[in-house]
Structure 1
Amino acid sequence: MFTRRNLLVASAFAALTPSVARAAGRTVATIDWGHLETCLALGIVPAAATELRQFREIAVEPSPPREVADLGLRGAPNIELLRMIAPDLVLISDFYEYQRPLLERISPVVNLPVYQSGKPPYALAEQSMAAIGALLGREAQAQAYMAAARAEIEAIGQRLGQLARHPVFVISLGDSRHFRAFGADSMFGDVVVRLGLENAWTDPTSYSATAPVGLEALARIPGASIAVIGPTPPETRRTLAENALWNALPAVAEGRAGDLAPINHFGALPSALRFARALDRVFGSRADAG
């Protein structure tokens, strides 16, 4: 969490190293993907981040420049490489708090939470963006981005008004028989509500999504639409086309199911916008058609 200790670290960082703010994120490392996309959205290029190849495939945008060093796994970053880079600041989230003792041997660490069990994350993502902007001299850019994101989501919600006739399941598919549903404490679930829509998945979730459940659970609300977040494994997509249960779901049979592009499941505001735009592309014309 963003504690008083973190605030003191942030203040000291800003006061003692003003050149860091002028240099944007050149001496910042990010462990969390949400903070990586937030930095990039504000024009801050981190010196190092984690799992960049996977980030480019799953989060897609903003795409990290090639000069960003890849620290390897989010759960076990390359400490020796990080020590060689010696960033002035390391950004983490609650997911990586256990890494603090190792990371603090190298650089000051600031924990900016976005995902907390049972809490819609959009407001936390805004707080994290504002904090990163304050830390790195991008306050104006952060405020402008947040205002533009809220306005665009509101506009997309107005275009998707007809979709509000149906609750919407937001899911990901690992295989052709099971799915993960994104609930109220996911970014996708939060954005669904902000768009004026109803999330069809009302069961409790913890940190964004359910454990995999059987496809038959999608039949519990026959009138619901289904938004499938990519990436979907090619083999799953192929076998799904032959799956009698999937094709019998009313949303599939009646054309109320759609495939969305890959999106970071634990992203921040850029992922929220990417999701809203993806829903608009897939369902907007259908909503217009009534």
Structure 2
Amino acid sequence: MITLRTALVAVAAVAVLGACGTTETAAPEPASSGSSSAAPITVTDARGKQVTLDRPASKVVALEWGEAEMVMSLGVMPAGIADVAGYKTWVTAATPDASVKDIGTRQEPSVDSIAALQPDLVIMESDDETLVPQLEKIAPVIVAKGSDASRNFDRLHEDLNMIATALGKTGEAARLMSGLEATLADGKAKLAAAGFAGKPFVMADGWKDGSKISIRLFGKGSLVSEVVTRLGLVNAWEGEVDAEWGLGTTDVEGLTALKDPDTRLFYNASDGVDVFADGLASNAIWKKLPFVEKGQVSKLPDGIWTFGGPLSCKQYAEAIVQAYTA
């Protein structure tokens, strides 16, 4: 089974994604905010474990970018994030300020760096659970699911609500989801009015290893597929995908299965390595694909995180609608 961490390591420097930054983010609060008289808070995380905090957390460390985005979008600036430079390349929905410390890579965060920040909460995803015993000696830990291809939109809502509860920001979470739902409803209406309701789409990213180009498809159940499905479009990729992230891998020959001339392909290359425009430009099979021949290939704006929170999903929806209606 593919996990996000495995997929990202497999693609070396490439397998993380991104796009545009048009969405406004709630103004972050200082890390010291929060009332010492606030009542204790108990949340149940993705492990099914109840975690009790003495008061809403305000000094937070996030080990994955989706959760870091959610913390900032809820109005709290994290004390630490894994791979801050990478985050700024791939995620523009919520921006860390200069106070945020880098606590190592997402694959191998530094426990010492986390401890030095003296956080009152550490947020991680299920893939990171082997670190929990060490981190629980430093601060309370809550584990987000991160992805579930059987119900990813509901999972997003649940992860956001869990984090918001721990931060005392449930009102902000409700507003974020309401804003996303409004964007999706508006986008769906615009696409329908332009005659695109029910049209097929494909979302991908890719990487090059020597002369070999591999393509990763975001199949049914992936978060971005859930977003675009709610816009009234249909994911055309029928290949095998994993049960957690909804991701599958193919090569350029595998794309020949996409025969519908109405199919539009979207891809992500936020780090500047564009295997679709550069690596496949002279490939005879690529050039004969219907969506290539018809000019229906769209590179997303840099900095849209395809595994993000409500603001990244909002950016993604807006970019898709723009590509169809511009």
Considering the TM-score relative to the shorter chain, is it more than 0.5?
Answer: yes
Structure 1 counterpart SS, 2:183: helix
Any idea what the Cα deviations from partners look like across 1:211-246, whole Å, max 9, x if unmatched? Answer: 531112222122221111232514663232222222
The aligned counterpart of 1:203 is 239
Equivalent AA in structure 2 for residue 257 of structure 1? V
The aligned counterpart of 1:143 is 174
- Among all aligned residue pairs of Structure 1 and Structure 2, give the percentage whose two residues are the same amino acid: 25
1:215 aligns with 2:248: no
Whole-Å Cα distance in 1 between the matches of residues 295 and 276 of structure 2? 19
The aligned counterpart of 2:266 is 227
1:264 aligns with 2:286: no
Structure 2 counterpart SS, 1:29: strand
Do the aligned partners of residues 164 and 179 (structure 1) sit closer, same or farther apart at CA in structure 2, a change above 3 Å counting? farther
Equivalent AA in structure 2 for residue 238 of structure 1? D
Q: What's the Cα RMSD here?
A: 1.9
The aligned counterpart of 1:174 is 207
Is residue 184–residue 230 contact of structure 2 (8 Å, CA) maintained in 1? yes
Is residue 81–residue 102 contact of structure 2 (8 Å, CA) maintained in 1? yes
Q: 1:239-250 to 2 correspondence within 5 Å?
A: 239-250=279-290
Do the aligned partners of residues 189 and 143 (structure 1) sit closer, same or farther apart at CA in structure 2, a change above 3 Å counting? same
Once the two structures are TM-superposed, the CA of residue 71 in structure 1 deviates from its matched residue by 0.6
Whole-Å Cα distance in 2 between the matches of residues 235 and 258 of structure 1? 13
Equivalent AA in structure 2 for residue 136 of structure 1? L
Structure 1 counterpart SS, 2:301: strand
Whole-Å Cα distance in 2 between the matches of residues 66 and 245 of structure 1? 46
Structure 2 counterpart SS, 1:160: helix
Whole-Å Cα distance in 1 between the matches of residues 213 and 108 of structure 2? 31
Do the aligned partners of residues 85 and 198 (structure 1) sit closer, same or farther apart at CA in structure 2, a change above 3 Å counting? same
Is residue 184–residue 208 contact of structure 1 (8 Å, CA) maintained in 2? no
* Greater relative CO, 1 or 2 (CA 8 Å, sep 6+): 2
Whole-Å Cα distance in 1 between the matches of residues 48 and 259 of structure 2? 48
Whole-Å Cα distance in 1 between the matches of residues 256 and 305 of structure 2? 26
Is residue 191–residue 272 contact of structure 1 (8 Å, CA) maintained in 2? yes
1:82 aligns with 2:123: no
The aligned counterpart of 1:2 is 46
* 214, 221, 225: which one aligns with 1:185: 221
Structure 2: give runs of 5+ residues left out of the alignment.
Answer: 1-44
Any idea what the Cα deviations from partners look like across 1:90-112, whole Å, max 9, x if unmatched? Answer: 01111211211111111110112
Structure 2 counterpart SS, 1:212: strand
Structure 2 counterpart SS, 1:179: strand
The aligned counterpart of 1:288 is none
Once the two structures are TM-superposed, the CA of residue 261 in structure 1 deviates from its matched residue by 2.0
Report the TM-score, using the length of structure 2 for normalisation: 0.78
Structure 1 counterpart SS, 2:300: strand
Do the aligned partners of residues 251 and 178 (structure 1) sit closer, same or farther apart at CA in structure 2, a change above 3 Å counting? same
Count of residue pairs brought into register by the alignment: 272
Structure 2 counterpart SS, 1:91: strand
Do the aligned partners of residues 85 and 235 (structure 1) sit closer, same or farther apart at CA in structure 2, a change above 3 Å counting? same
1:62 aligns with 2:94: yes
* 94, 114, 128: which one aligns with 1:96: 128
Any idea what the Cα deviations from partners look like across 1:35-84, whole Å, max 9, x if unmatched? Answer: 10111111111111111101111122211111111111112111111111
Is residue 157–residue 194 contact of structure 1 (8 Å, CA) maintained in 2? yes
Is residue 206–residue 215 contact of structure 2 (8 Å, CA) maintained in 1? yes
Do the aligned partners of residues 144 and 230 (structure 1) sit closer, same or farther apart at CA in structure 2, a change above 3 Å counting? same
Any idea what the Cα deviations from partners look like across 1:108-149, whole Å, max 9, x if unmatched? Answer: 101121313x42312111111112221112111111111111
Once the two structures are TM-superposed, the CA of residue 165 in structure 1 deviates from its matched residue by 4.8
Equivalent AA in structure 2 for residue 226 of structure 1? L
Whole-Å Cα distance in 1 between the matches of residues 275 and 239 of structure 2? 29
